[in-house]
Amino acid sequence: MKKIEAIIQPFKVEPVKEALHGISVEGMTVTEVKGFGRQKGIREVYRGMEYQVDLLPKVKIEIVAPDDKVQVIVDTILKSARTGRIGDGKIFVYPVEEVIRIRTGETGHAAI
Amino acid sequence: MNPADTAFVLFSAALVMLMTPGLALFYGGLVRSKNVLGTIMQNFFLLGVMGIQWALVGYSLAFGPDIGGLIGSLQYLGLNGVGSEPIEAYAKTIPHAAFMIFQAMFAIITPALITGAWAERLKFSAFLVFILLWGTLVYDPMAHWVWGDGGWLKGLGALDFAGGTVVHVNAGIAALAAALVIGKRAGYGKEAIIPHNLPMTVLGAGLLWFGWFGFNAGSALAADGLATAAFIATHLATCAAVLAWCGAEWLIRGKPTTLGAASGAVAGLVAVTPAAGFVGPMSAVLIGAGAGIICYLAVLAKPKLGYDDSLDVVGVHGFGGVWGALATGLFASRAVNPAGADGLFFGNPAQLGIQALAVLVTLVYSFVLSGILLKLIDAVLGLRVSPEEELAGLDLTEHSESGYSL
């Protein structure tokens, strides 16, 4: 089992969600985050003074999936989240040791 | 006694009262979220503190029987003798008490203006002591000099319809003293310290604009043509100031901003305050436009001047008030208010000199006394919170509260 963590542009949340529904992804966790990579911050102006705002809003989507679904999920996210401009984000894949469903106590693949 | 005048003045008093919570929201939105309650609390609590101070001693010191042109006696201590009979010297057609309660709201909001200068770093206890002393030793005498029956600046012919010198120049220069004595916020000039909730600030500006009709038109103390003229002058000056500030922004910085529109409005309101009942509508437009540009430039210049007047009290109330007081000396016309005077543009250059004198007196008195009071309180109580407290935010350290538990 793997965890797929995708940091994407906030305006890409709906397209990514819809695309993942299309490949029967059962669930995900979505968090609002701030961050930066190569995308420089933005300049804001208040009462004539300019400020560099470096932490930009992004969205983090986390999905836990069986190994054989990881590639199709990653490809789907890549296609739906990409704009081609700096700031599109990144995807990280981590190994998952255990998954447990709280309601029933099921573990492993049955709990995903 | 005239029922319409009485109703109008009472309603105006309520309008001015609303300006203090409005100011709280205006300032609150401009600070960081960890200090939103600390900022709002200072303004809101002032309603309580200065309300009682006014009833106990403030009104008497400001408007009581004159002593030497400098201060009122304590005859009205605890509002003794301030009843429903009109007081001839101030307002012939409304109860004395209506005049008193209208003025109370001015005594409350003037110190509230200063809070912008020391935002995000002043101890609440030091704030309380300063505000009580300042209200009693700076505001009350100044109100007496300019508005009191027998006040010496009034006797010299200084025109101040609703508080250009008494309120705005006074608070503005006190704010400079405060910024200099208290010092800059940690990280000022290096970190980005930006407003956390501009919608709240704009809401505050809207409430201020609304309440200011009571501030200026109400100062006519009658529901008549003069109040109407003051109402219109107030509105038009503000409209012009919004356009002027945003126009200047658009030219200089490339985009008009919401904060600029809100700040422009306040600048216009400040500038027209001394002039409202003395100038015609087109003069008001020019006064407002001047305020929009002058105050915007003052705010732009602040970083180069080196002091941390956090919410631009000096730039908006100081510069705006001085411009307004002097502009009154330019644009005042007996045609608008026979009880006033003519200004330079209406054939009487001497008025400008009298206005300048009143401004100078206010600047010196308020700056020096505010500075002394602050230094004293710093020695006894300490003014600033500790560096750790400043980092954690005043909401937590001064009030054990959190503004947003989202």
Q: Is residue B404 part of a domain?
A: no
Distance from CA of A89 to the nearest CA of B (A): 25
Distance from CA of B121 to the nearest CA of A (A): 20
What is the reported pLDDT for B74?
Answer: 97
Q: Is the per-residue pLDDT at B6 higher than 80?
A: yes
Q: Which residue has the tokens 């290096």?
A: B190
Residue of B nearest to A43 (CA): B192
Residue of B nearest to A54 (CA): B192
Kindly indicate the confidence band of residue B263, based on its pLDDT and cuts at 50, 70 and 90: very high
What is the reported pLDDT for A44?
Answer: 87
Would you call A46 and B194 a contact, using CB atoms and an 8 Å cutoff? yes
pLDDT digits (tens, 9 = 90+) for B118-163: 999 999 999 999 999 999 999 999 999 999 999 999 999 999 999 9
Q: Chain B residues with CB inside 8 Å of A45's CB?
A: 253, 255, 257
Residue A43 touches partner B, C-beta closer than 8 Å: no
Q: Is the per-residue pLDDT at B406 higher than 80?
A: no
More confident residue, B334 or A38: B334
Q: Chain B residues with CB inside 8 Å of A51's CB?
A: 192, 194
State chain A's mean pLDDT as an integer.
93
Question: Chain B: which residues have CB within 8 Å of chain A?
Answer: 192, 194-195, 249, 252-253, 255, 257, 259-260, 263, 296, 299-300, 303, 312
Starting from the edge strand earliest in sequence, which strands make up the sheet with A29-35, in order? A29-35, A56-65, A2-8, A89-95
Identify the bridge partners of residue B75 per DSSP, sorted by sequence position: none
Q: In terms of DSSP H, where are the helices of B148-197?
A: 152-155, 170-182
Q: Which residues of B360-372 are buried (b: 16+ CB within 10 A; e: fewer)?
A: ebbbebbbebbbe
The helix or strand, by DSSP H or E, that contains position B201, with its residue range, turns out to be helix B198-217
Cα separation, B313 vs A35, in Å, equals 34
Q: Which residue has the tokens 């003395």?
A: B278
Residue of A nearest to B301 (CA): A48
Average pLDDT over residues B54-66: 98
CB burial class (10 A; 0-12, 13-18, 19+) of residue A73? buried
Residue of A nearest to B299 (CA): A47
For residue B332, the 8-state DSSP code is -
Residue A102 touches partner B, C-beta closer than 8 Å: no
- The angle at the Cα of B48, spanning B50 to B119, to the nearest 5 degrees, equals 80
Of B237, B331, B247, B231, residue with least CA distance to B285:
B237
pTM of the model: 0.91
Chain A stretch 46-75, residues whose beta carbon is closer than 8 A to a beta carbon of chain B: 46-49, 51-53
What is the reported pLDDT for B201?
Answer: 98
DSSP 3-state of B325 = helix
Q: What is the CATH number of domain A2-111?
A: 3.30.70.120
Q: Chain B residues with CB inside 8 Å of A36's CB?
A: none
Residue B356 structural domain: 3-399
How large is the angle between the packed helices B319-331 and B281-305, nearest 10 degrees? 150
Q: Is the per-residue pLDDT at B32 higher than 80?
A: yes
Distance from CA of B324 to the nearest CA of A (A): 21
Average pLDDT over residues B12-25: 98
Amino acid code (one letter) for B44 = F
Query: What value does the CA radius of gyration of chain A take, rounded to a whole number of Å?
Result: 17
What is the reported pLDDT for B114?
Answer: 97
Q: Is residue B193 part of a domain?
A: yes
What is the reported pLDDT for B394?
Answer: 96
Q: Which residues contact A75 (CB under 8 A, 6 or more apart)?
A: none
Number of domains in chain B: 1
The helix or strand, by DSSP H or E, that contains position A8, with its residue range, turns out to be strand A2-8
Q: Chain A residues with CB inside 8 Å of B260's CB?
A: 47
What is the reported pLDDT for B189?
Answer: 85
Q: Which residues of B49-81 are buried (b: 16+ CB within 10 A; e: fewer)?
A: bbbebbbebbbbbbbbebeeeebbeeebeebee
What is the reported pLDDT for B160?
Answer: 96
Q: Is residue B406 part of a domain?
A: no
Cα separation, B184 vs B19, in Å, equals 27
Q: Which residues contact A111 (CB under 8 A, 6 or more apart)?
A: A99, A100, A101
Q: Which residues contact B255 (CB under 8 A, 6 or more apart)?
A: A45, B249
Q: Which two tokens stand for residue B374?
A: 């602050």
* DSSP string covering B84-108: SS-BTTTBTTS-HHHHHHHHHHHHH
Inter-chain contacts counted by CB atoms under 8 A, chains A and B: 25
- Which pairs from B85-89 meet CB under 8 Å and 24+ separation? B86/B1, B89/B149
pLDDT digits (tens, 9 = 90+) for B197-242: 999 999 999 999 999 999 999 999 999 999 999 999 999 999 999 9
What is the reported pLDDT for A41?
Answer: 81
What is the reported pLDDT for B276?
Answer: 97
Q: What is the CATH number of the domain that holds B247?
A: 1.10.3430.10
DSSP 3-state of B31 = coil
DSSP 3-state of B183 = coil
State chain B's mean pLDDT as an integer.
96
Cα separation, A62 vs A91, in Å, equals 10
Q: Is residue B405 part of a domain?
A: no
pLDDT digits (tens, 9 = 90+) for A7-34: 999 999 999 999 999 999 978 999 999 9
Q: Chain A residues with CB inside 8 Å of B312's CB?
A: 47
Q: Is residue B192 part of a domain?
A: yes
Q: How far is CA A70 from the centre of its chain?
A: 14
Cα dihedral B92, B94, B96, B99, rounded to 10, equals -100
Q: Are B287 and B91 in contact (CB under 8 A)?
A: no
Of B332, B313, B331, B324, residue with least CA distance to B356:
B324
Dump strand ranges (E) for A56-110: 56-65, 89-95
Kindly indicate the confidence band of residue B326, based on its pLDDT and cuts at 50, 70 and 90: very high
Q: Give the start-to-end residue ranges of the domains of chain A.
A: 2-111
Q: How far is CA A57 from the centre of its chain?
A: 13
Cα separation, B77 vs B56, in Å, equals 6
Average pLDDT over residues A77-94: 95
